Amino acid sequence: MQRFERNISILGRSRKTFESYSRHVASMALHFQCLPTDLDPEQVQDYLYELQQRSQTPSQTYFKHTVYGLRFLLKSEGLPYDYLKLPAIKRAKKLPVILSREEIWRMLQSSDLLKHKLLIGLLYGCGLRCMEVRNIELSHLDFDRCLLHIVQSKGNKDRYVPLSVHLIRGIKSYIAVDRPVKYLFEGTGNPTGQGFDSRYSQRGVQWVIKTVCKRAGILKDVHTHMLRHSYATHLLEDGVNIITVQKLLGHANIDSTMVYLHCCQTPDTLPHSPLDTVFARCSRATK
């Protein structure tokens, strides 16, 4: 396990990745009472089949992370991927769910606290991941240039994104009243504002989004990443080129950004329902 943790760290993967992979590998080790690398391929196939056949079947994510964890274990031990005959994981071709601009506005209007308005405004207005909004430090805010510096995010990369003047005005008011010490959004567990635990919790951010959406009467199953999806889609609809959107999102691969082209509605390619044409033509003919 120490070797597993070391190799994941050396390859630049996050602590969260190690915890996820090791948990799934450990479950398999406990099931067979031995290391997965001591199993033969048939035993591994039986285990993976059992995961899919349980009465309370784990999600596809659980199955996928078990396979990914085993692959990383093989890599750590210097064994080839085909050693355990692991299946290929096909990526589901799903389009992200997008919030309309009107729904974003309703969320902002339904937030009673300025802190909650700013969380929503930053997640959407800057296209941030949940971890990124939690990691914002006061030193990352550049009000003069209207920029937010996102430091060492996914893939250990930095990037800058534009800050709305509306956000800047709200952030200044929030700082003047709440007086955060290090992080812009700090939890209540550590009043000194020092260390990792002083950040606003992931669960806290998720609770804000769920609560505000319910209050706003939004029927979609909204999660924090949906605001990032909406940010990218709305930028494309506003005419921002896809290379710029890729940089703003911090995507290493343009393919990750291309998916939003299937969600956006630009004026020159705006689709329509043929039912609208039927009503438009036939209603005129009957008058």
Helices (H), 147-223: 165-178, 202-216
Catalytic residue list contains 228:
yes
Catalytic residue list contains 129:
yes
Catalytic residue list contains 251:
yes
Q: Between helices 202-216 and 224-237, what is the axis angle to 10°?
A: 70
d(CA 148, CA 139): 9
d(CA 266, CA 286): 33
Catalytic residue list contains 54:
no
Catalytic residue list contains 215:
no
- Which residue in 65, 134, 228, 229 is the catalytic one? 228
With the CA atoms of 151, 247, 221 and 215 taken in that order, what torsion angle do they form, in degrees rounded to the nearest 10?
70
- Which residue in 24, 129, 229, 234 is the catalytic one? 129
- Which residue in 75, 115, 223, 251 is the catalytic one? 251
Exposed (0-12), middle (13-18) or buried (19+): which is 107, by Cβ within 10 Å?
Answer: buried
- Are the C-beta atoms of 120 and 106 separated by less than 8 Å? no
With the CA atoms of 145, 148, 149 and 152 taken in that order, what torsion angle do they form, in degrees rounded to the nearest 10?
-170
d(CA 112, CA 155): 35
- Which residue in 71, 75, 154, 159 is the catalytic one? 154
Helix (H, G, I), strand (E, B) or coil at 137: strand
Catalytic residue list contains 154:
yes
- Are the C-beta atoms of 158 and 151 separated by less than 8 Å? yes
Helix (H, G, I), strand (E, B) or coil at 57: coil
Measured over the CA atoms of residue 164, residue 168, residue 174 and residue 179, the dihedral's sign is positive
- Nearest alpha carbon to residue 167 among 183, 187, 146: 146
Catalytic residue positions, numbered: 129, 154, 225, 228, 251, 260
